[in-house]
């Protein structure tokens, strides 16, 4: 509201009704601006969270894909189901003789375990554990119960591994089963609601190496 | 406005001025809301695109292990979380510098389609003698 106030002391001023009306309009405008600003902040935060979740998932899938893709000739994998302290089944992929997986240059004759470990909130975290050579039995259980796990992807659920061999998907892949053609990972990622992660990883087949021709004997 | 003092009437905003001011404010608020909506839509689209690319990578791996030997394989969007996948495998001809045809090469093309004009493709050449 604007009013020309005369220079004289007894000039005209705003009435109480005008001031209240002006304050009301100001309050409404401030409320509208605040609503928009808070909605923008919330939307930005949700957007950043989603982008971070997509990046985390993409990175996890990429390193897992590289692990299978670069599985060396002598590398072996197996699916092992263990039990958590609460008794929940924990699917574990065990990489053996697999140098270079998950950014680890060498396992030194040991193995690397990729497991969906239970969390306190009921979800699971895809984590890796490096197991030194010769560690097994009770010593392995102590190691697994310790804090050596490296978390890769938190907040996943219903993790399922399957293995393709001879055109057929199998839910078991015990030790000594050989080298599957592909591995499939299905799981729910809680930070991307409504989307089920379904990724397939190709494992290059081994080709028979022809024996080297005999060296010609010098005459 | 109160004008009972006998002095000249005080100037005040006219109805037209008030309406113009409110119109300007409404347009600016609308602009902010539209900018907010477009940024959210862009983020959602980026999420869908990233997800579709992951699907492409996954299908590429699947095709390397189990190529579409019939030449074409389609996974409909309703069966694949809204992303339609079309895989084609066609012979790929390459000639050497001696003009000899290299046989056993195939071009694998995968198309991910998740809406109007929202497409991603991946191509790879396979050697399958």
**What are the boundaries of each domain within chain A?**
54-202
**Residues in a beta bridge with A90:** A82
pLDDT at B60: 92
Residue B89 inside a domain? The answer is yes
Mean of pLDDT values over A7-32: 80
pLDDT at A200: 94
pLDDT at B41: 86
Q: Is A65's CB within 8 Å of B57's CB?
A: yes
Question: Phi and psi (nearest 5°) for A108?
Answer: 60, 35
The domain in which residue B105 lies consists of 15-127
How many other β-carbons are positioned within 10 Å of the β-carbon of residue B52?
Answer: 22
> What is the Cβ-side half-sphere exposure of residue A12, based on CA atoms within 13 angstroms?
20
**Does pLDDT of A182 surpass 50?**
yes
Q: Is A202's CB within 8 Å of B2's CB?
A: no
Query: E strands, chain A, where?
Result: 76-83, 89-96, 111-118, 124-131, 150-165, 168-170, 182-189, 196-202
**Residues in a beta bridge with B113:** B84, B119
Nearest residue to B75 via CA among B112, B126, B117, B106: B112
- Calculate what percentage of chain A has a pLDDT beyond 70: 89
Q: How far apart are CA A46 and CA A36, in angstroms?
A: 15
Q: Give contacts of B62 with chain A, Cβ < 8 Å.
A: 182, 200, 202
CB-closest option in A2, A32, A196 to B29? A32
Question: DSSP code of A85?
Answer: T
Q: How many domains does chain B have?
A: 1
pLDDT at A186: 95
Question: For residue A10, what is the nearest residue in chain B, using CA coordinates?
Answer: B5
Residue B94 inside a domain? The answer is yes
Mean of pLDDT values over A93-104: 86
Strand (E) or helix (H) holding A143: helix A138-145
Q: Tally C-beta pairs within 8 A across A and B.
A: 88
Residue B8 inside a domain? The answer is no
C-beta of residue A193 within 8 angstroms of C-beta of residue A219: no
CB-closest option in B12, B29, B61 to A2? B12
CB-closest option in A2, A6, A164 to B65? A164
Q: Is A202's CB within 8 Å of B65's CB?
A: yes
Residue B122 inside a domain? The answer is yes
Helices and strands counted in chain B (H then E): 1, 6
Q: How far apart are CA B113 and CA B74, in angstroms?
A: 11
pLDDT at A153: 95
pLDDT digits (tens, 9 = 90+) for A139-164: 888 888 877 899 999 999 999 999 99
Taking chain B, what is the end-to-end CA distance rounded to the nearest angstrom? 94
Mean of pLDDT values over A63-81: 91
pLDDT at B7: 58
Tell me whether A40 touches chain B (CB under 8 Å): yes
**pLDDT tier at A104, thresholds 50, 70, 90:** confident
How many other β-carbons are positioned within 10 Å of the β-carbon of residue A77?
Answer: 27
Q: List chain B pLDDT tens, one digit each, 129 residues.
A: 454 555 566 677 788 888 898 889 889 888 888 888 888 888 888 888 888 899 999 999 999 888 888 889 999 988 888 899 999 999 998 888 888 888 889 999 999 998 888 899 999 998 887
Residues with Cβ < 8 Å from B88, sequence gap 6 or more?
A: B68, B71, B72, B108, B109, B110, B111
Mean of pLDDT values over A163-173: 93
Nearest residue to A128 via CA among A94, A161, A77: A94
Question: DSSP code of B10?
Answer: P
Question: DSSP code of A3?
Answer: -
**Does pLDDT of A136 surpass 90?**
no
What tokens were used for A206?
Answer: 């081994």
pLDDT at B1: 46
């Amino acid at each position: 509201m604007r009013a020309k106030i005369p220079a004289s002391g007894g000039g005209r001023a705003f009435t109480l009704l005008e001031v209240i009306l002006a304050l009301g309009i100001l309050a409404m405008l401030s409320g509208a601006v605040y609503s928009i600003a808070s909605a923008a902040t919330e939307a930005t935060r949700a957007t950043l969270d989603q982008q971070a979740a997509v990046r985390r998932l993409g990175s996890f899938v990429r390193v897992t894909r590289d692990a299978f893709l670069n599985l060396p000739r002598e590398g072996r994998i197996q699916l092992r189901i263990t039990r958590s302290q609460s008794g929940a089944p924990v699917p574990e992929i065990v990489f053996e003789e697999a140098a270079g997986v998950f950014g680890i240059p060498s396992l030194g004759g040991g193995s690397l375990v990729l497991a969906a470990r239970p969390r306190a909130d009921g979800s699971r975290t895809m984590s890796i554990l490096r197991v030194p050579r010769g560690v097994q039995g009770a010593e392995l259980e102590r190691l697994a119960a310790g804090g050596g796990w490296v978390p890769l992807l938190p907040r996943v659920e219903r993790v399922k591994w399957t293995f393709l061999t001879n055109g057929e998907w199998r839910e078991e892949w015990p030790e000594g089963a050989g080298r599957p053609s592909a591995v499939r990972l299905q799981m729910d990622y809680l930070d991307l609601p409504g989307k089920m992660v379904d990724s397939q990883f190709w494992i290059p087949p081994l080709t028979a190496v022809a024996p080297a021709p005999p060296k010609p004997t010098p005459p | 406005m109160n004008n009972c003092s006998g002095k000249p009437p005080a100037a005040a905003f006219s109805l037209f001025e008030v309406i113009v001011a409110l119109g300007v404010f409404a347009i600016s608020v609308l602009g902010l809301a539209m900018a907010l909506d477009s940024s959210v839509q862009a983020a959602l689209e980026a999420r869908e695109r990233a997800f579709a690319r992951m699907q492409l990578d996954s299908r590429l791996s699947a095709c390397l292990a189990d190529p579409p030997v019939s030449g074409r394989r389609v996974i409909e969007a309703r069966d694949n979380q809204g992303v339609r996948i079309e895989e084609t495998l066609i012979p790929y001809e390459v000639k050497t510098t001696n003009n000899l045809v290299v046989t056993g090469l195939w071009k694998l093309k995968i198309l991910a389609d998740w809406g109007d004009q929202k497409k991603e493709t991946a191509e790879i050449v396979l050697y399958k003698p």
